[in-house]
Each structure stands twice: as C-alpha cells, then as structure tokens.
A and B are shown apart, each in its own frame.
Chain A
C-alpha cells in the first residue's frame, strides 16, 4: 500500500503556496492516487489549471502542465485534447474560475462532451485574492465583500453541470478522502466530459470569516454540511433536496464523446471528398 507518490511531484517546486489547513493538498493526493491506480502514462497526462489557489496545482506536479488565464482552463484544454486525443487532459479549476469568470466555458464544455476531466476545487470563496464573495459562497456567509452575509443564492455546481448536459457529474469533499479518490478515478475513466465538484476547506478566509477558523473545525464543517446521497459512491441518481449538500455520482452516462463524433465527421467528409 505504501506507494511513493514523489515520482509525480516536482520536488524542486516545493513548498507549495497553500495555507496550513487548506484542503487542496488532499484533493491533489486523491488525484495522484487515481492517476496511479489507473496506471496512466505520466508523459501523456496533461494537467491544466486556471487562476487562483487551485491554479497553483500544476506547478508541483510532474506531468505536462499548463497554468492558463482566469476561467479559461477548459477552453485551453479543449484545444490540447482535440490536437492530441491520446493525451489524458485533467482540468483543475477553482469555484470562481469555473462558475464566475469561466461559467460560459464550463456550461459549453458540459454540453459539448469532449473527453476531459474537470475538477472544481470548491472552497466557496476567492482565496488567493483575499477572501471575496464567490458565486458558490452559501447565502448568509460572510466574505470581505459581503461582510453582513451574502444576499445572493449560491450556484450548485452539480445541478449546473447536470442542467448543462454533462455526461458524468459527481460531488465529493476533501474531507472524505476515499470517496474523493474513487470519484476522481471514475471521472477520469469516463469517456466524455466528467465533472467532480470537490468541496474543500479554506480556514484562512472562509473559515475566519465564518467562525470555523481552526483547520480542524473547517474539516468538520465540510463533514457536517454534506452527506452521501446514496449508499455507495458508485450509485447515481438526481441529487435529493436536503439542507445538506449531497455527495456521490449524480449522472454517469456513456455516449459518444465529441472526438468520436468528430472522427465520424472526418470519415464522412473524406469519403465525400474522394467520391467527388
């Protein structure tokens, strides 16, 4: 069981920038476990990120890595994957990255169904810029730009992805490490666009603004505000309407992905060209 994950790390780029108590490191560990268990070729893995705390993920990972502009990681990843379909392209985004500035790219990627894996490191706040309100900040929660509590309803990224037509949609937390690894693995294995909304802890900003400043309390907060929707992480169905954020797989649909359909289009176009 004692796998050495250092071979996936750029040790000379450590230490990373994340705060003590940040949940991102746990998600990265899950990602590396998933990549290891799936035996993906390290040279063919591409990790693409946007901007924000999550955007710093690829710096320390020894794959092909690309740190793009804010919100656009999926659009860059679309180009990489279509240019070379042999690559395993994993997109790492923050919640603001994916659903505010990059919301348009996110919903269209869900609709388009290219074979990408999109992980949202969802801490419900803008961490790198100092704790501002995000589209995912729960209503009533405080941030540096909503000191009296947010008066905006938050985006539920699972429902957003389902509504936009994503073929694989799941939610987990950085607290539930086993579930997190298992769902990331499922999303990577899935042929088509796979989204995993990973709720993660930001004690530094979300925690300090909302009375869960201790990393330990923040982990409990994740545990206590979410609940597995089904008995096993492998079940799926629509998210139940509860006050707790349901985790698990909410859609797992195999259908031809964009690249498969594009190859069919090429085949039709080239035979038409030969015929003419």
Chain B
C-alpha cells in the first residue's frame, strides 16, 4: 500500500513546497491561506530553512525576491487583498526574472469581500494585475493531490523559466480535506536551478541560468528596463528585452500548458473548467451523459499562458462550450477568443460564495441546448 494521508489543500501546498526544496518563506497572515504559513512556521526551522513573518504582503513578496537573489527557493502565500498588494513585487519579479512562487487562495469579492467564502475572481488579475506587459505563469488546482503536484510544478517552472509563478487556489480547495497518495521523495521530479559554467563572466539577464549574490559575479539587478548586464537601456533595446521576457512564456505555450480531458472524444457539448469548478463539472458531464447528451470536460490546469490549442481543438468539434466559473465571467473571455466563433460559448457563473453544483452546470448547458433547438 502506498502511504496515504488525509490532508487539507493548504497542508498539501505547504508540504509540496518543502518537497520542492523551498527553503525560504515570507508571508503575512490572511484568510483563507494562513494554514500554509502556520505549517511552514513549524516545518521550516525543523529543516534548517528560513521562515519569516513580515509586516505586510508588500514586504513578504519583496523579501522572497531578495531571498531568491540570496540563493533561496522561495514562496509566499496569500489571498485577494494581499495579492492586490503583491502586484508591485510581482512586476519586479517579472522584470528581474526572479524565480518565485506566489500562492493565492482566492476569496470572494473585491476589497475585504467575504474572507471565508471561495471564488475564482482573481483570474485576470493573476495574469494582468501588475502594470505593463510582463511574463507570468498562472496555474490552478482542483483537488488536494492536484495542489501537491501543481505546487511542485510551480517551483519547477519558476526555476526553469526564471519567472514568477502564481498558483491560483481558492478557499474551497484550500480547506477541503481529501485522502491522497503521499508522494515519495524523488517520485515527482524537482528541477534544479541552472548554473553557469563560469560565474565570473555570468550575465544576470538574457539567459536561463541563475547565480545568486555572493558567488563572485558582481552584477546589478534593477526594476528599470535593462540589458543583459542589468544596466538601464531604452528605445529598441528596451523593446527587445521586453519581447524576450514575454517570449519565454509566449513561445513555450505547448510545453507550459497542461489540460485534462474527460469523455471528450464524441462530445457535442464541452464543459471547459478549471480549479475547484472542474470537480462539479466532471459530475455534470456524467449527469448529461445519463440524459443521452454527449458532454465532455476539458479541465485547464494552466491558465497562463492560455492553452489556446487545446481549447481550439475542442471548439472545432463541438457545438457548444459551457464555461462554469465562480465569477461573473473572466476566463470565458479567453475561451471565446480561442473558439473564434467555431462554436457557441456560454458562461455559467455563481458568486454567492458557494460551489456550482453538477446540476446547476448541467442545467446551464441544457438551457443553451433548448435555446438552440
């Protein structure tokens, strides 16, 4: 028997970070993400790693970026209001190509909203929240084991591509408990930071290698537009660097994106869901199939870069795409863009702080069927 553990999403996230070699956490308490921090406050010192509680979320993200340049693998976790404060640091991490992981356990509404109620309202903020064009990877998770795997993946991608990676959880998956297969050490690959052959001639930007401070390569890191040496550039050189940074994500969509497919082969209706909403969506597929309707599910695990090819491939084959989200319509816009008129796209939203049920999703799909008939 494989070892199993009954754990909460936040617990899985914290332990996955340890598994991925995270050795620096800085954070600020906020519902519903605080368990990640509480667990790491205990576990990090036990392993000789660093945990620090900062004075706010701006300090937290600043500290992890500093720690990354000090040589650490770094994490912070937060929720909506804290994530808003972190946008400043997220932009700095993007332009300085600093590997770091930011977990956002989404909660309801703008401002303080409803701290204990889940939502999927920060999707576009995670992609576009900080000012200016920038590279970022946004992942999501729909189950507790998925949280573990996606947290490790977040570290791996942050290190491999030298970008900030946002793992979008939500209050439901954060606080949900499930019995999961506990990964053995070595079972999930952990990406080791690329080091240059000669640190002395290392150029801090423009490559995928990374050298921290104190190794003999004295260099400059800045949030200003900069060239490979880290010093300010303008005009076409600034444009070249920005395109290169965004290109790291844009040119690697197929490598970066992950989707799950469920009963899609002969489907005429496709549900396209992500995060916790993939769970009731999967049950909705079964409900619809029981009624003789050929439904299937495309579950998106990467939200940015957007898995255009996967969505387009589905849009070509089905009559309707149904997008259930715990918001008033966010990722549906990307899906409509990808579908490009090849099929109908409808949104089924819920924003009362509760999960969409399989029946609600199925009914949303059926109403659309009725309209078309």
| B48 touching A79, Cβ below 8 Å | no
Q: Mark B203-224, 1 if CB is under 8 A from A, else 0.
A: 0000000001111101111111
With a cutoff of 8 Å between Cβ atoms, the chain A residues found around residue B23 in the complex are: 83
| B62 touching A68, Cβ below 8 Å | yes
With a cutoff of 8 Å between Cβ atoms, the chain A residues found around residue B223 in the complex are: 67-69
With a cutoff of 8 Å between Cβ atoms, the chain B residues found around residue A266 in the complex are: 45-46, 48
Contact stretch, chosen from A24-32, A57-65, A182-190: A57-65
A46, A59, A104: the one contacting B59 at CB < 8 Å is: A104
| B55 touching A80, Cβ below 8 Å | no
A44→B54 CA distance, assembly (Å): 25
| A82 touching B24, Cβ below 8 Å | yes
Closest chain B CB from A87 CB (angstroms): 5
Question: Does A221 sit within 8 A of B, measured CB to CB?
Answer: no
Q: How many residues of B contact A (CB 8 A)?
A: 45
B47, B66, B216: the one contacting A66 at CB < 8 Å is: B66
With a cutoff of 8 Å between Cβ atoms, the chain A residues found around residue B63 in the complex are: 75-76, 78-79, 82
A58→B60 CA distance, assembly (Å): 23
B65, B214, B218, B220: the one contacting A79 at CB < 8 Å is: B65
B59, B74, B224, B231: the one contacting A105 at CB < 8 Å is: B59
With a cutoff of 8 Å between Cβ atoms, the chain A residues found around residue B219 in the complex are: 64-65
Q: Which residue of B lies closest to A265 (CB)?
A: B45
With a cutoff of 8 Å between Cβ atoms, the chain B residues found around residue A82 in the complex are: 24, 50, 52, 63, 67, 70
Q: Which residue of B lies closest to A46 (CB)?
A: B213
A40→B55 CA distance, assembly (Å): 31
Asked whether A65 and B220 contact (CB < 8 A) given A76-B66, A82-B52, the answer is: yes
Shortest beta-carbon contacts, A-B, top 10? A83-B70, A79-B66, A79-B67, A75-B62, A76-B66, A79-B63, A64-B213, A75-B59, A269-B45, A67-B222
With a cutoff of 8 Å between Cβ atoms, the chain B residues found around residue A270 in the complex are: 45-48
Label chain B's interface by main secondary structure.
Answer: mixed
| A79 touching B46, Cβ below 8 Å | no
A262→B66 CA distance, assembly (Å): 18
| B58 touching A59, Cβ below 8 Å | no
Question: Does B245 sit within 8 A of A, measured CB to CB?
Answer: no
| A79 touching B64, Cβ below 8 Å | yes
With a cutoff of 8 Å between Cβ atoms, the chain B residues found around residue A67 in the complex are: 220-224
A72→B89 CA distance, assembly (Å): 9
Q: Which residue of B lies closest to A276 (CB)?
A: B46
Question: Does A242 sit within 8 A of B, measured CB to CB?
Answer: no
Which of A79, A80, A82, A272 has most chain B Cβ within 10 Å? A79
A44, A79, A83: the one contacting B62 at CB < 8 Å is: A79
Asked whether A75 and B66 contact (CB < 8 A) given A43-B214, A269-B46, the answer is: yes
Question: Does A108 sit within 8 A of B, measured CB to CB?
Answer: yes
B residues 52-94 in Cβ contact with A at 8 Å = 52, 54-56, 58-60, 62-72, 74, 88-89, 92
Question: Inter-chain contact count A-B, CB under 8 Å?
Answer: 140
| A84 touching B71, Cβ below 8 Å | yes
Which of B50, B64, B220, B232 has most chain A Cβ within 10 Å? B220
Closest chain A CB from B191 CB (angstroms): 19
Question: Does A254 sit within 8 A of B, measured CB to CB?
Answer: no
Which A residues have a C-beta under 8 Å from some C-beta of B? 10, 13, 42-44, 46, 48, 58-59, 62-69, 72, 75-84, 86-87, 104-105, 108, 262, 265-266, 268-270, 272-273
Which of B24, B60, B66, B69 has most chain A Cβ within 10 Å? B66
List 4 additional contacts besides A46-B213, A82-B63, A104-B59; criterion CB under 8 Å.
A64-B218, A65-B219, A80-B69, A83-B71
| A68 touching B24, Cβ below 8 Å | no
Q: Which residue of A lies closest to B66 (CB)?
A: A79
Which B residues have a C-beta under 8 Å from some C-beta of A? 23-24, 26, 42, 45-48, 50, 52, 54-56, 58-60, 62-72, 74, 88-89, 92, 212-216, 218-224, 231-232
A87→B24 CA distance, assembly (Å): 16
Q: Which residue of B lies closest to A59 (CB)?
A: B220
Closest chain A CB from B44 CB (angstroms): 9
Q: Which residue of B lies closest to A63 (CB)?
A: B218
A66, A86, A104, A105: the one contacting B214 at CB < 8 Å is: A86
Asked whether A66 and B46 contact (CB < 8 A) given A43-B214, A84-B212, A87-B214, the answer is: no
A13→B222 CA distance, assembly (Å): 14
With a cutoff of 8 Å between Cβ atoms, the chain B residues found around residue A80 in the complex are: 66-67, 69-70, 213
With a cutoff of 8 Å between Cβ atoms, the chain B residues found around residue A86 in the complex are: 214
Q: Which residue of A lies closest to B226 (CB)?
A: A67
Closest chain A CB from B158 CB (angstroms): 15
With a cutoff of 8 Å between Cβ atoms, the chain B residues found around residue A105 in the complex are: 55, 59, 62
With a cutoff of 8 Å between Cβ atoms, the chain A residues found around residue B62 in the complex are: 68-69, 72, 75-76, 78-79, 105
A44, A59, A69, A108: the one contacting B231 at CB < 8 Å is: A59
| A84 touching B46, Cβ below 8 Å | no
With a cutoff of 8 Å between Cβ atoms, the chain A residues found around residue B212 in the complex are: 83-84
| A79 touching B24, Cβ below 8 Å | yes
With a cutoff of 8 Å between Cβ atoms, the chain A residues found around residue B50 in the complex are: 82-83, 262
Q: Which residue of B lies closest to A272 (CB)?
A: B46
CB pairs A–B below 8 angstroms (6 shown) = A64-B218, A68-B66, A76-B62, A77-B66, A83-B68, A268-B45
Asked whether A65 and B52 contact (CB < 8 A) given A80-B67, A82-B67, A82-B70, the answer is: no
Closest chain B CB from A272 CB (angstroms): 7
With a cutoff of 8 Å between Cβ atoms, the chain B residues found around residue A75 in the complex are: 54, 58-60, 62-63, 66
Closest chain B CB from A110 CB (angstroms): 11
A209→B66 CA distance, assembly (Å): 37
A66→B47 CA distance, assembly (Å): 29
| A104 touching B89, Cβ below 8 Å | no
